[in-house]
Amino acid sequence: MNRKKGLATISLSVALILALVGCSSGNNSGGGNQASGGKTVLEYYTWTDEEDYMKKVVDAFNAQNSDIEVHMNTISNDADEYNTKIMNNLSGGSKMDVYSINGTSSLGLYSSKGQLVELTDRIKEANLDVSAYGPSFQDITSVLTEGKYYALPYRTSQYALFYNKKLFDEAGVEYPTQMTWNEYAELAKSLTKGEGADKQWGGYYADWITAPLGALQEGTTVLDDSLDPIANWLDYLNRLYYEDGSHMSYKQMKAESIDWIKQFESGNVAMMINGEWTINMLKADIAAGKTDMEFDMAPMPLPEGMNDPITVGGVSTFIGINPQSKNADAAFQFVQFVAGEQGESIIAESSVLPAYSSDKTKESFLNATGLQGSGFFFEANTVVENQPVANIDEVNRVFNEQRDLYLFQEQDSATAIQNFIKNRQSVLNK
């Protein structure tokens, strides 16, 4: 009996010691950041896809600021690793002053859990013009964070239509311009030909684009009561994938783990609906000699009866400060630089669509892409892809579960919507 008590006491005291050590050393993560030469060192985290252009921004910032040095860390963003890593850092892992935030739902999460320094006062003091980030940032701020600023955006995401010039030339068809979704489907059908290794697809619609683009253009979101436009959109996808067979089927993309951009680069896809990041990636691959394709872009197709160009997107990537950082002032300087005109111009020079809209960033972007069509991004109206509410990721996930079953041809679109509404309820009740 005595021994048992002894054991319990030992483990309890081990736990206690650990807790005490934890308290005293928990703040270590913020300390020891004064590097040699009195420079303030900032640890900045972002994900691998951003390395290419954020490296240039960081270098430019370091060159301009003799007293601050930003050290960039990149983490793979596959399967939520980036978020896992950031969470560990925020819970006292490695020293982290500034971090990039991927998507509005992450912004909502980090701000609601108190993991971002509120920037409202600093923004006021610095006289920053937040209207340059466009209306989507205002929507997000007012709905998601109750009018308070916790981070600044530096990238905008927008969908558009990309096409392979060579395939249009070969077919003797004019390059596409603004179309309706119907016209798009017909055009894709007419450009589809061949079998096996010679197969040419009229279009490519990546399996991971889960947002119901056409329905969003019409103003319906996954949170609405009436979801008919979304059901129609699902039927439309079914037409592309299976009825017309003008797009590689959803099943085949999933089964063969098709990489969308490589499929497009392989030269047997005439048109592709995808995001603005396509430009940056295609240009990088062309420069690296991985492909010699020639591409251009056109506005995203529109639902029947709509005339003004409208696309899906909005500010999507943010940068904010860890509350545990001991260098919030220097960190804000860096944040301001990244999301300001200068940093944004550097980002734009890599053909990445900046969040900050000014003549200078616009010009940098158009020069960099060298694409006639890319002016579209600055002209079209946008509707947000993800509604700025908590749990949106979870709602999207249960939507995607039903969408999957529909596109694997296991249930009709009405059943998919019904099941989704049921599952959405239990997510929102949690």
Smallest distance, other proteins to C-beta of residue 275, A:
9
Residue 357 Cα to chain centre, angstroms:
18
Contact, 264 vs 285, CB < 8 A? Answer: no
Q: Closer to other proteins at the Cβ: 87 or 173?
A: 87
Token digits of residue 214: 């056409």
Closest CA to 167 of 197, 196, 188, 195: 188
Question: Please, which residue, 64 or 94, has the CB nearer to other proteins?
Answer: 94
- If the CB atoms of residues 245 and 309 are measured against other proteins, the closer one turns out to be 245
Residue 11 or 66 having the CB closest to other proteins: 11
Can you point out the beta strands (E) in 306-394?
310-321, 381-384
To other proteins, the closest distance from the beta carbon of 210 in angstroms equals 12
Length of the chain: 430
Angle (nearest 5°) at CA 202 between 204 and 190:
155
Residue closest to 384 by CA, chosen among 234, 176, 242, 222: 222
- Taking the complex as a whole, the smallest distance from the CB of residue 125 to other proteins amounts, in Å, to 27
The separation between CA 383 and the C-alpha centre of its own chain, rounded to angstroms, equals 15
For every residue of 114-152, which 3-state class applies, written as one string? Answer: CCCCCCHHHHHHCCCCHHHHHHHHHHHHHHHCCCCCCCE
Minimum distance, C-beta of residue 321 to other proteins, in the bound complex (Å): 15
Q: Which is nearer to other proteins, 281 or 355 (CB)?
A: 281
341, 344, 349, 353: CA torsion to nearest 10: -120
Judged by CB, which is closer to other proteins: 257, or 307? 257
The minimum distance between CB 219 and other proteins, in angstroms, equals 27
Q: How far is the CB of 266 from other proteins (least distance, A)?
A: 5
Q: 43 or 218: whose CB is closer to other proteins?
A: 43
Terminal-residue alpha carbon distance, the chain: 45
Least distance (Å) from other proteins to the CB of residue 230?
17
Q: Percent helix, strand and coil across the chain, each rounded to 5?
A: 55, 15, 30
Alpha-carbon gap, residue 396 to 139, rounded angstroms: 19
Nearer to other proteins, 153 or 303 (CB): 153
DSSP 289: T
Q: How far is the CB of 180 from other proteins (least distance, A)?
A: 27
CB-CB contact of 168 with 124 (8 Å): no
Least Å from the CB of residue 391 to other proteins: 8
Nearer to other proteins, 131 or 266 (CB): 266
